[in-house]
Amino acid sequence: MGENIPSPHAVVVPLPAQGHINPLLHFADLLRDRGFFITFINTEWSEKRMLQSSKQFSHRSNFRFLSFSDGLPPEHGRTDQLGELLVTLAKCGPALEELLRSCSGVPPVTCIVTDSAMSCTLSVAANLGVPRVVFWIICAAASITQKYANVLLSQGHIPVKVSEAKRPEKLISGVPWSIPDLLPTDLISSYREQYESDIIFKAFLFESQQSNEADYTLVNTFDELEGRDAISALSTNGCPALAVGPVFLPKVLQGEESKLGSMWDEDESCLEWLDKQRTGSVLYVSFGSLALKSQQQLDELALGLEGSGQPFLWVLRSDIAQGQNAMLPEGFEKRTRDRAFIASWTPQLKVLAHASVGGFLTHGGWNSTLESISMGVPLLGWPCLGDQFLNCRFAKDIWKVGLEFKDVDVEENRLVPREEVERAVRDLMENEQLRKRVFELKEAAIKAVMPGGSSYTNITTFIQDMLEKAE
Ligand code: UDX
């Protein structure tokens, strides 16, 4: 930028949850590298959690963090009562606008890059007279099912009748880009009939509608994975829709992975343990930041991992056992001492990039799925909620980089017994086809984010369009 021309200024607003903050922080960082001034807006709750765990909280230039109150009492669980959180956040437009108007000494706002589930940014962008850039942190296929949720509702596909979900005539059509063999169980689980009277059902429908109010759409995927047609189907009123991901990858390739968004303390010592394991031998087990498992399921999982004979690194989040302290079966730690590492949170990008890791047992959150694909690690999907059912199925059936437990997509809480865990882990770790295919996609992901690649070029187009609009 010339001396007298202020930097373009992007205000970035994630939904306050780990899986949403991470990709938006990475994208904000990419924009900063390309000359933007960034205002990254957390809620006071999410900022506090990030500050508590992040030892190197950012003091980088041209990057500031602001926060506003979400209006919920301190004891509210936030992400474990997502419906209530969404409804409350939807009313935060005035607070957000006041926050932005109260700051001086920064360049004028060029655009608002908003999580697709943060409808409160709609009035803010309109009142500031700047483009509203809707950023989908989930894959394009899942975003399409969200964007067209009202169409699916009017056609009777929502609420999803899970009992009929596997019948072939139940395939869904009618969204502009016909996703190959879209199944009712591919729709986000909050749209299932058992949640119809739940606050989350309406909250998601509302947010889906508002996501259609976009001047520009970006999605954290890449053209070579999902295809241009899928990404174009996210366009609203002829406004561009572009794939810009994987957004975390450029920094990883530069050896510069930042951990400023983490809400938990990362146990770096797992990396030293990985250094001592054989190449491709370790199964990484993690269910992201929100998924819960019953204590009985955790027992079966532990015994299945033990029975598999495979070395494993397991993220046992402190709150995973439905709010209780997770317990391990008696004698388990002693018996698996020479081939297991249990952590409460890991530096996941470094773990997946480690040569010892050969497979990932995952809930299939989009970040984990994309991270695994981009690092060339095959997946064993065990979805729990939201878009994870679609991600795990696509990883298996469409991208052919993963396996899945049978029928967990239909019976959300089916107990997976230890024998099944054991068998599936072995199948994953021995499958050379998956390894070959995921390696091809890894190469494609790297190419996409390098100068001249599809996502790199799309970010350049986006920046040019924003600069033109600001003139
Ligand atoms: C949420 C939803 O649950 C998911 O369905 C949606 O696709 C994205 O938002 P979450 O469940 O947290 O996400 O999973 P995921 O999308 O995988 O994001 C988790 C993030 O935390 C990843 O970026 C992962 O690298 C990071 N992580 C996870 C760590 O850094 N360390 C860990 O130990 C575990």
The pLDDT assigned to 465 comes to 97
Q: How far is the CA of 365 from the centre of ligand 1 (A)?
A: 6
Q: Work out the mean pLDDT of the chain and round it to a whole number.
A: 92
CA distance 48 to 158: 37
345 lines ligand 1 (CB under 6 A): yes
138 lines ligand 1 (CB under 6 A): yes
What is the DSSP secondary structure assignment for residue 261, as one 8-state letter?
T
Nearest-CA residue for ligand 1 atom 30 is 348
**CA geometry: angle 77, 78, 83, nearest 5 deg:** 115
Can you tell me which atom of ligand 1 is nearest the CA of 317?
33
The pLDDT assigned to 228 comes to 93
The pLDDT assigned to 45 comes to 93
Alpha helical stretches, state H, 54-89 = 82-89
* pLDDT tens per residue, range 141-156: 999 999 999 989 998 8
Nearest-CA residue for ligand 1 atom 8 is 19
Give strand pairing partners of 192.
160
Nearest-CA residue for ligand 1 atom 2 is 365
366 lines ligand 1 (CB under 6 A): yes
CA distance 457 to 410: 39
367 lines ligand 1 (CB under 6 A): yes
Lookup result for tokens 């989009």: 366
Q: Sheet containing 379-381: which strands, arranged edge to edge? A: 340-343, 312-315, 282-286, 357-362, 379-381, 402-404
* pLDDT tens per residue, range 297-312: 999 999 999 999 999 9
Q: How far is CA 191 from CA 288, 363, 372, 382, 455, in A?
A: 21, 18, 27, 19, 31
- Report residue 280 as tokens: 């491709």
- Report residue 446 as tokens: 């790297």
pTM comes to 0.96
The ipTM assigned to this model is 0.99
Give strand pairing partners of 150.
none
356 lines ligand 1 (CB under 6 A): no
The distance in angstroms from the start CA to the end CA of the chain is: 14
* pLDDT tens per residue, range 187-214: 999 999 999 999 999 999 999 999 999 9
**Cβ pair 51, 167 in contact under 8 A:** no
The pLDDT assigned to 2 comes to 46
Instruction: List, for the chain, all residue ranges whose pLDDT scores fall below the cut of 70.
Output: 1-4, 53-59, 165-174, 177-178, 180, 257-260
- Amino acid letter at 430? E
290 lines ligand 1 (CB under 6 A): yes
The pLDDT assigned to 280 comes to 98
Can you tell me which atom of ligand 1 is nearest the CA of 137?
8
Q: How far is the CA of 196 from the centre of ligand 1 (A)?
A: 26
Comparing C-alpha atoms, which of 338, 399, 410 is closest to residue 161? 410
**Cβ pair 329, 423 in contact under 8 A:** no
The pLDDT assigned to 256 comes to 79
Q: How far is CA 133 from CA 17, 232, 248, 252, 460, in A?
A: 19, 15, 19, 25, 15
CA distance 348 to 377: 12
